[in-house]
């Protein structure tokens, strides 16, 4: 086992260095390493225990998805906006359909074609990030849209893995079963999201002083594997559990620290996973299947361009931004390998599908930077051939889609009501299932031996309602919000709307309680309804229930928004201000000033930034201090964060200005380095320091040193008082630069004639 691990890591290390030199993604290097140590390239496998490698690779998948969850965060899905959701939905549906169709055209089975469609609809987050960084496009508007689409695609991928697993297990396409699985998945995500946010941030905050790096990483890995076991126990994949725990950790204040600590763990096990992927590739098989590889590669490139551009355009972005987005997502990445591995582990896909998809991924990854460069020429070509009417229609559509529409008070309150009923309802369903499957059977087994049956039923109902009462209260009451107050004082019709919403909450709450009564007692429906109404009324009047519900809500809300508030305080500008600029094709970017930049020490007026680049400097962040709308006389200093607003082209010109301002010193221009040393000198009889105090001597300013101590009469005076006078024979200990100290001592001693 140790020998196999040594071979894998050394081969992966060498190939990754080679691919770094070639400026290619390291993931491809790992796959090549797997091909080299596998049984197909050199005729004999260098790895003897393939099962152990597969096990390590599966662990690698868990840590990869945990790290992906750390970057995901459920709140990001709400922040990316409709553009990312519409575009990602268009891509997933379009590419899955196209992939399935292509697979069937090649004569593959339905299961192979279905898994192929799943592999083709996810672009590579890693590759897109790297390509945009290398090309200096990270700050462009379309890049931010790409990131939003990738976030939504990651969520789709996790859902897709669950659905594919279900289809592969049942070997059927039953719509009812699929809807049941989707509902089960949504319930699972909501439950663990709510429970996790309510517990994890609070726990980490209370024990922060005890959680050093070692303890934190062990604790987090344990939680990740624990959630994996829960997911498998609930009938989902282990990958889903790892992803969910990562997304929960992403909502904590320790998220960046956890991400940094998990990086080496993810890299090690992730590299083993990709090596195991490469070991399954037979180059001879790739030659035999050259036609499907070529066909699928073309489908990925042109299909992603088509669906991503159309989806982005449909969401209301301009034609240029839509094409730039589409041309950036022309590859398949890590999730394709994971879905391919899932198909093979379930035994539902042919062995040839795996290397075909890997080959397509390698080719599309290599072509990504070249395809991205074709976005602007394609836009100019399409724009020049559009009719004036079509161009005007697209401009009006984009402008109307990006116009902020004000929701009415009733609409906001109605949406909040539905969300509250949905979330708390799922939690209550979970409590009921847990109670009737675990707690209730135990009570019925123990209590009848002690108390009569009717009392057992009363205990069961009381216990169930005590556990679920805060959530039932949250549904029934809804709280006194500003929107409710405004609606109540707006008129008779608005009052009727508000009363209807409260009645809806009460009806849902009564039905929830009525179901509990019906399951435990054998009352008639009329009695059940009356008792349910009475119990809901008691809950709403109970101070303890109200206090528990408010405490639960405040804790959850505080934990949910803690990281967002912390990040907002560190942001260069507010998210609201940044978002308001997007409809004007203006966005915000920040640049940190390199200490070697020629900008350092010069004012904004001298640099003439606005005229040279077109951007506006809206803020300078200096050591935690914000200089808003700086004037022309503001001087820039090393490590200043310069926040600018402008279009993509203007920000690109400013970025070139920043890069060009860096002063690179040549080898021979390096200045001689000086060090602080501890020196000593004796005050001789002719030294001018005699009779002067430390302050009067000017030794600190002239020699740029600190007097650490004075030896006098075999006694050391440490950190002497500034009023202490020098005496003949004093031995002075100073800290500073040797040459400056020597020059000062010589200046204090007269030259003998």
Q: How far apart are CA 68 and CA 239, in angstroms?
A: 11
Mean pLDDT score across all residues of the chain? 80
- How many other CB atoms are found less than 10 A from the CB of residue 666? 6
Q: What's the DSSP call for residue 597?
A: B
- Greatest mean pLDDT range, 177-181, 270-274, 353-357, 468-472: 468-472
Instruction: Give the tens place of pLDDT for each residue, 666-687.
Output: 444 444 456 788 888 999 888 8
Is residue 753's pLDDT more than 70? no
Distance CA 552, CA 546 (A): 10
Does the pLDDT of residue 362 top 80, yes or no? Answer: no
Give the confidence band of 176 by pLDDT, cuts at 50, 70, 90. Answer: low
Q: How confident is the model at residue 726 (pLDDT cuts 50, 70, 90)?
A: very high
* Percent of residues, the chain, with pLDDT higher than 70: 86
Per-residue pLDDT reduced to its tens digit, 515-530: 888 888 876 677 778 8
Higher local confidence (pLDDT), 378 or 400 = 378
Picking from 130, 128, 133, 118, the residue whose alpha carbon sits closest to that of residue 151 is 128
Q: Whole-angstrom Cα distance, residue 445 to residue 442?
A: 5
CA distance 615 to 28: 39
- The answer, yes or no, to whether residue 615 has pLDDT greater than 50, is yes
> Please, which pLDDT band fits residue 202 given cuts at 50, 70 and 90?
confident
Question: Is pLDDT above 60 for 348?
Answer: yes
Helix, coil or strand: residue 693: strand
Could you give all domains of the chain from N- to C-terminal order, each with its CATH number? 2-377 (1.20.1530.20), 409-561 (no CATH), 589-664 (3.30.70.1450), 677-748 (3.30.70.1450)
Which residues, 6 or more positions from 153, have their beta carbon under 8 angstroms from its beta carbon? 88, 91, 92, 121, 122, 123
Indicate the SS3 state at residue 657: helix
What does the pLDDT read at residue 588? 77
Q: How confident is the model at residue 449 (pLDDT cuts 50, 70, 90)?
A: low
What would you measure as the largest C-alpha separation in the chain, in angstroms? 124
Mean pLDDT, residues 130-142 taken together:
67
Closest Cα to residue 624, out of 558, 582, 572?
Answer: 572
Q: Is the pLDDT of residue 126 over 70?
A: no
What tokens appear for 173 in the block?
């396409």
Nearest Cα neighbor of 72 from 167, 173, 180, 148 is 148
Choice among 483-497, 577-591, 622-636 with the minimum mean pLDDT: 577-591
Q: Rounded to whole angstroms, how far apart are CA atoms 561 and 567?
A: 10
SS3 616: strand
- 81, burial (CB in 10 Å: exposed 0-12, middle 13-18, buried 19+): middle
What lies within 8 Å, CB to CB, of 276 at 6+ separation is 34, 53, 54, 56, 57, 60
Residue 98: pLDDT above 50?
yes
Range of 37-51, 119-133, 188-202 with top mean pLDDT:
188-202
pLDDT digits (tens, 9 = 90+) for 2-19: 787 888 888 888 888 888
Return the higher-pLDDT residue of 127 and 21: 21
In the beta sheet, which residues pair with residue 641? Answer: 592, 621
Q: Which of 37-46, 123-132, 523-532, 692-701 is modeled with the greatest confidence?
A: 692-701
Q: Give percent of the chain with pLDDT exceeding 90.
A: 4
Q: Are 609 and 657 spatial neighbours (Cβ–Cβ below 8 Å)?
A: yes
Q: How confident is the model at residue 730 (pLDDT cuts 50, 70, 90)?
A: very high
**Are the C-beta atoms of 199 and 245 separated by less than 8 Å?**
no
- HSE of 673, CA atoms in CB hemisphere, 13 A: 2
Task: Check pLDDT > 50 for residue 344.
Answer: yes
Give the model's confidence band at 538: pLDDT under 50 very low, under 70 low, under 90 confident, else very high: confident
Q: Using 50, 70 and 90 to split pLDDT, how confident is the model at 177?
A: low
The secondary structure element, H or E, covering residue 158 is: helix 141-170
CA 332/CA 362 separation, integer angstroms = 9
Q: How far, in Å, CA of 741 to CA of 747, rounded? A: 10
- CB-based contact 716:655 (threshold 8 Å): no
- Around Cβ 361, how many Cβ atoms within 10 Å? 27
SS3 716: strand
Section 330-343 average pLDDT: 78
Are residues 332 and 122 in contact, defined by beta-carbon separation less than 8 angstroms? yes
For residues 604 and 640, the answer to whether their CB atoms sit within 8 Å is no
Contact 339, 121 (CB under 8 A): no
How far apart, in whole angstroms, are the C-alpha atoms of residue 472 and residue 563?
28
If DSSP codes are grouped into helix, strand and coil, which group holds residue 627? strand
Sign, CA dihedral 544-547-550-556, equals negative
Residues 252-261 pLDDT 10s: 888 888 888 8
- Sign of CA pseudo-dihedral 401, 405, 410, 416: positive
Instruction: Tell me which residue of 643, 645, 35, 604 sits closest to 355, measured CA to CA.
Output: 35
Closest CA to 749 of 682, 699, 688, 680: 688
Closest CA to 467 of 502, 442, 490, 440: 440
Tokens of 154: 């990651």
Which residues make beta-bridge pairs with 619? 628, 643
Please name the helix (run of DSSP H) or strand (run of DSSP E) that holds residue 459, with its range, or none: helix 453-477
Token pair in block for residue 132: 């945009």
Tokens of 439: 């707690």
C-alpha distances out from residue 117 to 100, 102, 293, 302, 677, Å: 5, 9, 14, 15, 69
665 pLDDT higher than 50: no
Task: Please give the span between the terminal C-alpha atoms of the chain, in angstroms, as a whole number.
Answer: 83
Read off the DSSP letter of residue 690. B
Contact, 212 vs 205, CB < 8 A?
no
Predicted local distance difference test score (pLDDT) of residue 669: 47
pLDDT confidence band for 72 (50 / 70 / 90): low
Contact 414, 501 (CB under 8 A): yes
Residue 305: phi and psi, rounded to 5, are -60, -45
Supply the DSSP string of 35-89, one letter for each residue: HHHSTTTSSS-S-S-HHHHHHHHHHHHHHHHHHHHHHH-HHHHHHSHHHHHHHHH
pLDDT per position as a tens digit, 472-498 = 888 888 666 676 777 777 777 777 877
The residues with which 643 forms a beta bridge, in sequence order, are 590, 619
């Amino acid at each position: 086992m140790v020998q196999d691990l040594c071979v894998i890591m050394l081969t992966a290390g060498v190939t990754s260095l080679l691919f770094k030199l070639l400026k290619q993604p390291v993931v491809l290097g790992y796959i090549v390493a797997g091909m080299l140590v596998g049984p197909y390239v050199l005729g004999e496998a260098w790895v003897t225990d393939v099962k152990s490698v597969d096990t390590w690779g599966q662990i690698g998948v868990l840590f990869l998805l945990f790290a992906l969850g750390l970057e995901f965060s459920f709140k990001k899905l709400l922040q990316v906006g409709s553009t990312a959701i519409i575009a990602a939905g268009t891509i997933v549906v379009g590419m899955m359909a196209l992939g399935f169709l292509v697979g069937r055209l090649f004569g593959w089975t339905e299961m192979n074609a279905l898994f192929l469609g799943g592999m083709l609809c996810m672009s590579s987050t890693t590759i897109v990030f790297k390509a945009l960084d290398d090309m200096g496009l990270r700050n462009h508007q379309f890049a931010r849209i790409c990131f939003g689409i990738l976030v939504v695609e990651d969520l789709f991928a996790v859902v897709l893995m669950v659905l594919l697993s279900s289809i592969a297990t049942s070997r059927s396409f039953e719509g009812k079963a699929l809807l049941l699985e989707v509902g089960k998945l949504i319930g699972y995500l909501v439950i663990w999201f709510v429970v996790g946010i309510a517990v994890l941030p609070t726990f980490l905050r209370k024990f922060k002083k005890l959680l050093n790096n070692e303890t934190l990483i062990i604790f987090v890995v344990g939680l990740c594997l624990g959630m994996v076991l829960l997911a498998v126990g609930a009938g989902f994949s282990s990958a889903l559990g790892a992803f969910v725990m990562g997304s929960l950790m992403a909502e904590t204040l320790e998220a960046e620290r956890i991400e940094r600590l998990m990086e080496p763990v993810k890299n090690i096990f992730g590299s083993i996973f990709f090596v195991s992927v490469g070991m399954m590739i037979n180059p001879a098989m790739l030659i035999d299947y050259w036609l499907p590889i070529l066909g699928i590669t073309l489908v990925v490139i042109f299909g992603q361009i088509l669906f991503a551009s159309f989806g982005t355009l449909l969401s209301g972005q301009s034609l240029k931004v839509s094409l730039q987005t589409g041309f950036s997502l022309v590859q398949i990445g890590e999730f394709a390998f994971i879905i391919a591995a899932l198909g093979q582990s379930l035994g539902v896909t042919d062995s040839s599908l795996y290397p075909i998809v890997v080959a397509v991924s390698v080719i599309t990854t290599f072509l990504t930077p070249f395809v991205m460069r074709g976005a602007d020429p394609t836009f100019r070509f399409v724009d020049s051939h559009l009719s004036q009417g079509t161009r005007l229609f697209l401009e009006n559509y984009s402008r109307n889609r990006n116009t902020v529409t004000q929701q009415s008070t009733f609409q906001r309150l109605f949406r909040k009501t539905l969300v509250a009923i949905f979330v708390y309802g799922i939690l209550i369903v979970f409590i009921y299932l847990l109670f009737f499957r675990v707690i209730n059977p135990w009570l019925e087994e123990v209590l009848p031996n002690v108390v009569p049956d009717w009392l057992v039923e009363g205990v069961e109902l009381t216990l169930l309602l005590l556990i679920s009462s805060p959530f039932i209260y949250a549904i029934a009451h809804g709280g006194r919000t500003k929107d409710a107050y405004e609606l109540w004082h707006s008129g008779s019709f608005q009052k009727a709307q508000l009363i209807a919403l409260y009645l809806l909450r009460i009806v849902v709450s009564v039905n929830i309680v009525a179901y509990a009564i019906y399951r435990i007692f054998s009352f008639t429906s009329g009695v059940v309804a009356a008792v349910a109404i009475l119990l809901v009324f008691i809950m709403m009047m109970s101070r303890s229930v109200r206090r528990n519900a408010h405490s639960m809500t405040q804790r959850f809300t505080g934990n949910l928004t803690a990281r967002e508030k912390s990040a907002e305080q560190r942001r260069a500008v507010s998210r609201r201000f940044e978002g308001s600029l997007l409809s004007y094709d203006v966005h915000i970017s920040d640049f940190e000033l390199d200490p070697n930049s020629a900008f350092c020490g010069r004012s904004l007026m001298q640099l003439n930034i606005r005229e040279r680049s077109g951007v506006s400097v809206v803020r300078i962040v200096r050591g935690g201090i914000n200089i808003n709308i700086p004037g022309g006389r503001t001087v820039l200093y090393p490590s200043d964060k310069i926040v600018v607003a402008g279009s993509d082209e203007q920000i690109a010109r400013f970025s070139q200005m920043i890069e060009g301002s860096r002063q690179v010193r040549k080898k021979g221009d390096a200045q001689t380095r000086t060090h602080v040393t501890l020196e000593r000198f004796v005050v001789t009889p002719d030294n001018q320091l005699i009779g002067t105090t430390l302050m009067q001597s000017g030794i600190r300013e002239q020699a740029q040193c600190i007097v650490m101590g004075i030896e006098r009469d075999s006694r050391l005076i440490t950190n002497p008082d500034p009023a202490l006078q020098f005496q003949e024979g004093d031995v002075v200990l100073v800290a500073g630069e040797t040459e400056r100290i020597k020059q000062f001592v010589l200046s204090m001693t007269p030259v003998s004639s």
